[in-house]
Amino acid sequence: MDVIGFLPKGQLLSQWRELNSIFAKEDKHILINYIYEYPKDDLFIYTEMVIAEMKKRGYQIRAYEKMNKYFEDLGPVEAKTPFKQHHNREYLEICYYNLKEKFIRGQKDYDEDMYQQLCMFVNSNH
């Protein structure tokens, strides 16, 4: 259950910044510590999902050095759902309400159409 495709520009770009911070210093934070319970494959797949969405929207990625260094010892990665035990129904609800508040408060880069698409996605995953 992933909401990457429904993130406003600001949040999507923040995902890339946060990933680069993880690549550089393996940040510890209560909201992301669970990622270290999984093989690096999961973070790689999640990173690829973020990159794919950025490219789909035409956003330029200037540097991949931190990512490449972080994953340099990673072998072949099989397709799977990343962070499967954590990115579940409850996680979807948390993300939904976070994005709903951003929409209600008038975040400039979060329009009605994008919010409605998110709502349809969430409702279809009940």
**What is the extent of the structural domain holding 65?**
4-124
User: How many domains, the chain?
Assistant: 1
Task: Assess contact for 41 and 77: CB atoms under 8 A.
Answer: yes
Q: Does pLDDT of 29 surpass 90? A: no
Helix (H, G, I), strand (E, B) or coil at 2: coil
**Ordered DSSP codes for 56-89:** HTT------HHHHHHTTT--------TTTTTSSH
Cα–Cα distance measured from residue 55 to residue 51, given in angstroms and rounded to the nearest whole number: 6
> Which tens digits make up the pLDDT trace of 64-102?
999 999 999 999 999 989 999 998 999 999 999 999 999
Tell which residue, 124, 122, 60, 54, has the closest CA to residue 94: 122
